[in-house]
Amino acid sequence: MSKQGDSPILSLRNLKKSFGPKTVVNDVSFDVYPGEIITLVGENGAGKSTLKNMLCGLLEPTAGEILIDGTVQKTIIPMEHGISAVHQELSLFPSLSVAANICISSLPGSKAKVDWKKAEQIAGEQLDFLGMDIDPKAKVASLGTGKQQIVEIAKALLHSDRLLILDEPTTSLTSPEREKLFTIMDMLREKGVAIIFISHFMDEVMRMGDKYIVLRDGFQVGTGAIKDIERLALEELMVGRSIGEMDKDIGTPRKEEAMRVENLASYDFTDISFSVKKGEILGLSGLIGAGRTEVVEAITGLRASEGTLFIDGKEINPISTKDVFNSKVAFVTEDRKVSGIFPNRSVRENISAADIKRFIERKIKGLGFRKEDDKTGDVVDEMNISIPHLESKITNLSGGNQQKVIIGRWLSTLPEIVILDEPTKGVDIGAKSDIHDAVAALARQGVAVILASSDLPELLHLSHRILVMRTGHVVGEFERKDFDSVKMISLAASSAHEE
Amino acid sequence: MKNKEVSMDRIKEYLSSKLWLSVVIAIIVLCVVFSILSPAFLQWSNFQAVLVQSSITGIMAVGLCFVIMTGGIDISIGAILLLSATVFAYTVNGTESFMLAFLASLSTATLAGVLNGVLVYYFKMAPMITTLATYNIYNGIALHISKTENVPIDRGYTFLGNGRIANIPVPLMILLAITLIGAYLLSHTRFGTFVRAVGDSQVSATESNLPTRRTIVSAYTLAGFTAGLAGVLLISRTAGLQNSLGVGTEFTCIAAVVLGGTALSGGSGSVVGSVFGAVFLILIDNGLNLLQASPFIYDAVRGIVLLAAVSVDRMSTARQAKTLLEQKALRIGSSIIKQVKKTAQA
């Protein structure tokens, strides 16, 4: 349906973006013609968002060129160029009416008297154009997520109707809402609007896309017409790297069960049942938003849930943080900055925080911190943390070293079950390898490990068994001998609507 | 049958869109209770007294509700009131010109509001702490000028507080005018729309290219102006400056705004509701007075009412959050929703 006779609206030439030494987008080039849907796919962290932000003028490219209608642009002013984006986080104002939201950037009438009739009329026309029956007078807060998304698209198209960027628009939509969105996308394509469609969901990509761009580690590893590629081939392109290195010695799980979860359910997930043996590393895989973090928070009692939890054969009911942690469970949270470190404290205090009693010897009850230095020093050596001094503020350390401090903190409590959520997010390769070694060593010692991660190669490398999650459900379970990355990605990246 | 349901839904929707509805109901209930307990309550003169007293709190609440709708707060308004009254007293006594005193006190108050807005916006300081600091500054300046002495003003200059036009008290007319202007500003001007937009999300407002800075500074300016106006009215009523003037009004005003249905988190709100909230709070004072309750208990009662108002605000926010969670649970087909439904059926 793309009109090949036309010239491209947008062209990227060897676009590159680096943050410090890290290159996030590398040598990306493609053209966008009017009336075509370009699907941009890639794993978490492949560089899709960075690319999007450069197209929206929010980030400046390190190298390369962005051409609009054939002319090189120094800075992108989206509205001027007819580019608009609907981000994953909607930018609507819930307290205002639909009409006010759509027209907010250029309200009709004067400053002292907004012409609401006119605004409602403009909004009505815009919504009619999208074929939606939404009352322009309704408050946005009273609309469902699907309709809010349509309002956002209407708002975006009011000013910029040549190129629309949709970033994961379907993640929070119900099936009928999604169909409605696709009808609108088809209609926009007919009218010559170009769409860059970013999606995790391969069925949507195969169905809606005209062209595909695959990003992996910032590189453009595949480009072509959707009709010329099989879904499987596209998924292989996304995962890419050969995942041969499964030679890590992670030991053999024991017979005894360490933890069992039955029918755990909450607002974000449901029907979660699994068990972990001593010495076993259980990987929890899934895309962002699949519910991994929510599940591990629920089994540590940090998130309200329903279901049964057994630790060492004993039922913990209700699941309370206190009881769980008293059962020798350690939990390293996903967001180091928010829920991991004590930012203004020293490395020493950060290490001893979880179990201060183990670190100190007291002659007088309640007084003194003897031996804390020696013992925290031991942890620093064990975890191979490089710090100038035990009293250094933890925020002066690199991300990798901070993460090692936190893992060291929890390992010093001599846990029998360790739960790690994204333990290597944002850490350098060296620290990553140290953390992997520490996890493998734990398993060999008979500690049960639950490892939640969006980094599939990491899970393949370290796990005995992997559960694949998608929109709050477990949709697949793989033993180490049956690991199949493409199958896993395919399971995780199908939209729930597919079945 | 179906039509009936639809129209019921319509009515419900309409009523829930009127944020001030609950405070009006509360006012009616309070009136019924007090009229049973005290015969003096139902007299016209008493009603008039309540409304005139409400006008000072009400006028300030109108300005404050804009600040709260931006997601901010202004606790310096009580001090701005005192400062404005002080400036009025000294200017009117010094120059014997009502107009000059009126303008001087209003400009001082408006400037104080501008300063609040600038500090909050440019220095990205928490509004609570910023206005706590400016509260002390304005209060200090006012007390420094008056040296805490009582300054009587000539009866001739107290028309705004005690005068009547066509037998209607002037303060009441001013309250009415301010309420109408405030309501118009909120729903018919860009400023009003932007205030709510900024309160919903400052990030989205900036991304949508809205004049975030001007909106926030204007809201605090408006709050300063209305506090200044209230200051002139109050000193006109009392015909003299006392250093206790306006002490604690900021809390009554915050309570009035919240009672009137304005969300403390910003975004949605109501000018009319804020004024009704003020009337409600003055009614409580009035009722307690008629019942000959100890005057020392008023503060405690006000505190309890404020607490109740804030918890109502909190509950509605929590309910919204819960609805979102439930929508998500429904989408993924979580078993907890099935259980909720089952218990609902049982």
List pLDDT tens digits, range A17-29: 888 777 888 889 9
* A240-268: average pLDDT: 80
Q: Please identify among residues 294-353 of chain A the ones whose CB lies closer than 8 Å to any CB of chain B.
A: 306
Alpha-carbon distance A299 to A310, whole Å? 10
> What is the reported pLDDT for A341?
86
pLDDT of residue A243: 44
Question: What is the rounded average pLDDT of the residues B5-21?
Answer: 65
For residue B76, name the pLDDT band (cuts at 50, 70, 90).
very high
Give the domain ranges of chain B: 21-325
Name which of A96, A142, A268 is nearest B193 (Cβ-Cβ): A96
**Which domains are assigned to chain A?**
10-239 (3.40.50.300), 257-498 (3.40.50.300)
Q: How far is B300 from chain A (nearest CA, A)?
A: 33
Average pLDDT over residues A281-301: 89
Closest approach of B340 to chain A, Cα-based (Å)? 12
Name which of A95, A113, A266 is nearest B199 (Cβ-Cβ).
A95
Nearest to A165 by CA among A76, A105, A295: A76
Tens of pLDDT, residues A369-407: 667 777 888 888 888 888 878 888 888 887 888 889 999
Q: Are A270 and B329 inside 8 Å of each other by CB?
A: yes
Mean pLDDT of B205-217: 89
The answer to whether the beta carbons of residues A278 and A481 sit under 8 Å apart is no
Taking 50 as the threshold, does the pLDDT of residue B42 lie above it? Answer: yes
- For residue B196, the distance in angstroms to the closest alpha carbon of chain A comes to 7
- B191 touching chain A per CB within 8 A: yes
Given a contact cutoff of 8 angstroms between Cβ atoms, the answer to whether B204 and A121 are in contact is no
Domain B21-325 has CATH 1.10.3470: yes
Q: Which residues of B touch A112 (CB under 8 A)?
A: 189
Distance from chain centroid for Cα B129? 19
- Closest A-chain CA to B262: A95
Are B327 and A139 an interchain contact pair (Cβ–Cβ within 8 Å)? no
User: Which residues from chain B sit within 8 angstroms of residue A496, using beta carbons?
Assistant: 332
Please give the C-alpha separations between residue A274 and each of A133, A465, A466, A477, B268, in angstroms, as whole numbers: 45, 11, 11, 10, 45
- Summarize the confidence of residues A185-189 as an average pLDDT: 91
Residue A1: which pLDDT band, with cuts at 50, 70 and 90? very low
Res B23 pLDDT > 70: yes
pLDDT at residue B13 tops 70: no
Would you call A94 and B191 a contact, using CB atoms and an 8 Å cutoff? no
Question: Is A268 in CB contact (< 8 Å) with chain B?
Answer: yes
CB distance from A94 to chain B under 8 Å?
yes
Question: Which chain A residue has the Cα nearest residue B200?
Answer: A93
Asked whether the beta carbons of residue A265 and residue B208 sit closer than 8 angstroms, the reply is no
Q: Which residues of B touch A271 (CB under 8 A)?
A: 335
Residue of B nearest to A104 (CA): B208
Q: Which of A107, A144, A472 sits opposite B334 (nearest CB)?
A: A472
d(CA B52, CA B248) in angstroms, rounded, equals 18
Of the listed ranges A146-155, A369-378, B278-287, the least confidently predicted one is A369-378
Q: Is the peptide bond before B152 cis (omega within 30 degrees of 0)?
A: no
Can you tell me which residue has the tokens 């079950």?
Answer: A417
Tell me if chain B has a CB within 8 Å of the CB of A271. Answer: yes
Cα-Cα-Cα-Cα dihedral sign, residues A315, A321, A325, A326? negative
What is the distance between the alpha carbons of residues A352 and A349, in angstroms, rounded to a whole number? Answer: 5
Q: Among A242-256, A314-328, A371-385, B176-190, which stretch is predicted with the lowest mean pLDDT?
A: A242-256
Of A111, A139, A496, the CB nearest to B189: A111
User: Which residues of chain A make contact with B197, given a CB cutoff of 8 A?
Assistant: 93, 95-96, 100, 104
Q: Does B325 touch chain A (CB under 8 A)?
A: yes
Say yes or no for a CB contact (<8 Å) between A270 and B200: no
Q: Distance (Å, rounded) from C-alpha B70 to C-alpha B68?
A: 5
Residue B201 in contact with partner chain A when CB distance is under 8 A = yes
Among B204, B326, B334, select the one facing A91 at the smallest CB separation: B204
Q: Could you report the predicted ipTM of this complex, rounded to two decimals?
A: 0.83
